[in-house]
Structure 1
Amino acid sequence: MTYLLDALQILTGYVVPFLLVLTLLVFVHEMGHYLVGRWSGIRILAFSIGFGPELVGWTDRHGTRWKLAAIPLGGYVKFYGDEDAASVPDYKRLEALAPEERSQTFLGAKLWKRAATVAAGPIANFILAIAIFAVLFSVYGRQVADPVVARVNENSAAAQAGVVPGDRLISIDGTPVVTFDDVRRYVSVRPEMPISIRIERNGAMLDLSMVPQRTELTDQFGNKMEIGVIGILTDQEAGNFRTVNYGPIEAVGQGVLQSWHVVTGTFDYLSNVVTGRMKADQIGGPIRVAKVSGQMATLGIPFLLNIAAILSVSIGLLNLMPVPVLDGGHLMFYAVEALRGRPVGPAAQDVAYRIGFAMVLMLMVFATWNDISMFFG
């Protein structure tokens, strides 16, 4: 009975939230491809959520097979003339088609229509993230605090630089600081990197230099991560904690800004991994996404929606990587085609797709290893 209850808890606490979030993100991504492809006059054979054997599905009046497949870890839109779900062209079949039929294939569409169709998937993910953030900010508001120091930790980077309680942070490396969260976001991805902070003290402006210290933090769920910290805190009296409510237009603007923060934070983290300033252990796969989704679900719908928005931006960015088999790889080929005036040859594309698939597979193995290490390390 205990094992049954544990299995039920895992199912309801982790698997269900994970599948709900992933299905939403995949559906929106593929719907972007589908809608622009249809608008471009490209015939669409299948719209699938998941891979592998079909569990349930139907065929619409346009001949598109809509289906839910057995392996719910992605999805695809298959266009007429494609060899597989990765939109690799079936050149032999294309050569045998009549001109009228060829015009309905993906490869037979004009270059800009192909590019628009491919780019529509990641763009749809960005739009979804902005919409989710906008709804959260308009319905629940946003918790903010002024960037005023209430306490400075002993022997911290801020203490060594001369920061004292009551100082107001004005800018970091020339970037204006509006809220205390702006400070945390900027500093956290810059461990052991010199930064310059302008503060206001008793009406006077001071410029201080410091180096954020690399620190391992543990969140309320026991997840560990390394970030940069300078050792300052605020409180209700100094920071004036409050909830800011936004109207619909302002909320959309804040949604764009929040999505941009996710983009820049991702690139900052990856650059730190490449330069060795941060570990690559935060790169995770489906297991980590399931765990985080379940954890956020225990905190309530707003937290689950927030992680869904962050993941939507991440999926959009991942698919824009210039790696063959990903959307960014296809766009790279189209850029070359635009410059050369003719497509990249089938043989070269085949080699590139094989290399791209190997790269994606290695990334998946690495991410899964991180996921396993997270549980058993």
Structure 2
Amino acid sequence: MIETPGLLLTVLAFALAISPLVFVHEMGHYLAGRLFGVKADVFSIGFGREIAGFTDRRGTRWKIGWLPLGGYVKFAGDMNPASQPDTTWLSLPPDERARTFQAKPVWQRAIIVAAGPAINFVAAILILAGFALAYGEAVIPPVVGEVMPGSAAAATTLRPGDRVTAIDARDVTDFADIARYVQIRAGERVTITAERDGRPFTTATTVGVEQQRDRFGNAYRIGRLGLRGNGAVDIRPVSVFRAPVVAVQRTGEIVRMMVETLGQVISGRRSVKELGGPVSIAKVSGEQMTLGLDAFVFFVALVSINLGFINLLPVPMLDGGHLFFYAIEAVRRRPLDPGAQEWAFRGGMIAILALMLFVTFNDLGNLGLWKNIASLIG
């Protein structure tokens, strides 16, 4: 039986997942700006018309917009999407101009911009460190316990007792490394390096494809080798000092999977239909909430990593786009022509809006909207 969280819980879970992360992201920009003496004119959670807000003693307007799909910090002197000064900025009194974003050297502007994505990664690392402290670290040796009949692994020379050491030249130190690698490579050819009685050997196979459906009706295409471990699982307690190390390792693994999955989409090995947007995030938020607090908090950590990663992509309008232009400015010792930057940021905005429309179209399709409309028309 397919379960649904319900619209109210889905909306609530989405707000609880996204709003704090947006606040944390923008607070990273704000605090870095404060560190370098930049005045913030506006700190907004959400876009569009203000529904609530106040102005603090520093002159910053803190507000909530009616469309809760993001947020922004507007620094003094940051007068257009390309962050280029105009004649209004040039006419400011010297002391006031010194507190503007554009008056700061390029390295300070870069830190202010990078602080948003960075704090999203920090937030995720803190959450994952908490999980490591609470549940410990599971260590499963990459030793084959069973080769499932008819599986992809059955077509290899692997046998029970073999120790897998690498897949496609990527080191394997834990059985979970095998699962993480193959689950996003359904149908792809892989080379496995293993040891038997201390002697190394290699074998190859095509990763199997398994169609899964969860309790909410979501379908997944997962890669499977068909190996089982030897049953040895060591749950090791994690100290306060070890927890951040484990969390950073887990974050690195998640980012690596994001990069590889994105590369598969770009290269055509993975369907663009798998790309999701705000509607998908909202749907999954509600589903994870019904699974319990632990599942929901872990999901928030994943979204935080996604938010940090996406914002670092070198696309104009995103933080990574700004950092890309600052890197060019640092090398050239002068910024690019304002007109060129303006056109680049306009192009970036069009690309992002087009992507948002596309992923929303995908999301609505995954919810069955287009099929229902087609059936009604038919």
TM-score (norm 1): 0.91
Give 3-state SS (helix, strand or coil) of 2:212's partner. Answer: strand
Tell me, yes or no, if the aligned pair for 1:142 and 1:243 is still in contact at 8 Å.
Answer: yes
Tell me, yes or no, if the aligned pair for 1:148 and 1:166 is still in contact at 8 Å.
Answer: yes
Residue 45 of structure 1 corresponds to 41
Aligned length: 366
Residue 216 of structure 1 corresponds to 211
- Deviation sequence 1:131-181 (CA, Å, 0-9, x none): 110011111334453333343333322111122334332322333323221
Tell me, yes or no, if the aligned pair for 1:192 and 1:277 is still in contact at 8 Å.
Answer: no
Aligned mate of 2:309, from 307, 317, 332: 317
Taking the aligned partners of 1:250 and 1:53, their CA distance within structure 2 comes to 46
Return closer, same or farther for 1:15/1:87 CA change in 2, 3 Å cut-off: farther
Q: Do structure 1's residue 329 and structure 2's residue 329 form an aligned pair?
A: no
Residue 189 of structure 1 corresponds to 184
- Matching residue's letter, 1:60: D
Q: Do structure 1's residue 58 and structure 2's residue 54 form an aligned pair?
A: yes
Residue 301 of structure 1 corresponds to 293
Return closer, same or farther for 1:331/1:83 CA change in 2, 3 Å cut-off: same
Deviation of 1:345 (Å): 2.0
Deviation of 1:369 (Å): 1.4
Tell me, yes or no, if the aligned pair for 2:41 and 2:59 is still in contact at 8 Å.
Answer: yes
Q: Which moved more, 1:116-125 or 1:151-160?
A: 151-160
Residue 289 of structure 1 corresponds to 281
Tell me, yes or no, if the aligned pair for 1:146 and 1:178 is still in contact at 8 Å.
Answer: yes
Aligned mate of 1:168, from 149, 155, 163: 163
Aligned mate of 2:28, from 29, 32, 35: 32
Residue 206 of structure 1 corresponds to 201
- Matching residue's letter, 2:155: Q
Q: Which moved more, 1:161-170 or 1:109-118?
A: 161-170
Give 3-state SS (helix, strand or coil) of 1:249's partner. Answer: coil
Q: Which moved more, 1:14-23 or 1:342-351?
A: 342-351
Taking the aligned partners of 1:97 and 1:176, their CA distance within structure 2 comes to 58
Residue 340 of structure 2 corresponds to 348
Tell me, yes or no, if the aligned pair for 2:163 and 2:196 is still in contact at 8 Å.
Answer: yes
Give 3-state SS (helix, strand or coil) of 1:63's partner. Answer: coil
Taking the aligned partners of 2:64 and 2:137, their CA distance within structure 1 comes to 37
- Deviation sequence 1:341-362 (CA, Å, 0-9, x none): 2112221121111100001111
Return closer, same or farther for 1:266/1:259 CA change in 2, 3 Å cut-off: same
Taking the aligned partners of 1:137 and 1:104, their CA distance within structure 2 comes to 42
Taking the aligned partners of 1:34 and 1:295, their CA distance within structure 2 comes to 33
Q: Which runs of 5+ in 2 are unaligned?
A: 372-378
Deviation of 1:126 (Å): 0.9
| Correspondences of 1:65-84 after superposition (within 5 Å) | 65-83=61-79
Taking the aligned partners of 2:47 and 2:91, their CA distance within structure 1 comes to 28
Give 3-state SS (helix, strand or coil) of 1:83's partner. Answer: coil
Tell me, yes or no, if the aligned pair for 1:133 and 1:309 is still in contact at 8 Å.
Answer: yes
- Matching residue's letter, 2:7: I
Tell me, yes or no, if the aligned pair for 2:43 and 2:74 is still in contact at 8 Å.
Answer: yes
Tell me, yes or no, if the aligned pair for 1:146 and 1:239 is still in contact at 8 Å.
Answer: no
Tell me, yes or no, if the aligned pair for 2:85 and 2:102 is still in contact at 8 Å.
Answer: no
Return closer, same or farther for 1:147/1:26 CA change in 2, 3 Å cut-off: same
- Matching residue's letter, 2:34: R
Tell me, yes or no, if the aligned pair for 1:47 and 1:67 is still in contact at 8 Å.
Answer: yes
Q: Do structure 1's residue 134 and structure 2's residue 126 form an aligned pair?
A: no
Q: Which moved more, 1:183-192 or 1:39-48?
A: 183-192
Q: Do structure 1's residue 9 and structure 2's residue 6 form an aligned pair?
A: yes
Residue 254 of structure 2 corresponds to 262
Q: Which moved more, 1:178-187 or 1:202-211?
A: 202-211
Tell me, yes or no, if the aligned pair for 1:320 and 1:326 is still in contact at 8 Å.
Answer: yes
Q: Which runs of 5+ in 1 are unaligned?
A: 1-5
Give 3-state SS (helix, strand or coil) of 1:81's partner. Answer: coil
Taking the aligned partners of 1:44 and 1:22, their CA distance within structure 2 comes to 22
Taking the aligned partners of 1:166 and 1:156, their CA distance within structure 2 comes to 18
TM-score (norm 2): 0.90
Residue 3 of structure 1 corresponds to none
Taking the aligned partners of 1:90 and 1:214, their CA distance within structure 2 comes to 54
Taking the aligned partners of 2:82 and 2:52, their CA distance within structure 1 comes to 22
Taking the aligned partners of 1:143 and 1:299, their CA distance within structure 2 comes to 21
Tell me, yes or no, if the aligned pair for 2:44 and 2:73 is still in contact at 8 Å.
Answer: yes
Aligned mate of 1:179, from 171, 174, 181: 174
Aligned mate of 1:276, from 259, 268, 281: 268
- Deviation sequence 1:70-128 (CA, Å, 0-9, x none): 111101001012336x5744513212222322221111111111011001111111111
Tell me, yes or no, if the aligned pair for 1:226 and 1:278 is still in contact at 8 Å.
Answer: no
Return closer, same or farther for 1:136/1:273 CA change in 2, 3 Å cut-off: same
Return closer, same or farther for 1:244/1:303 CA change in 2, 3 Å cut-off: farther
Taking the aligned partners of 1:112 and 1:326, their CA distance within structure 2 comes to 18
Residue 97 of structure 2 corresponds to 102
Return closer, same or farther for 1:72/1:82 CA change in 2, 3 Å cut-off: same
Give 3-state SS (helix, strand or coil) of 1:281's partner. Answer: helix
- Deviation sequence 1:237-258 (CA, Å, 0-9, x none): x222453321112110011011
- Matching residue's letter, 1:173: D
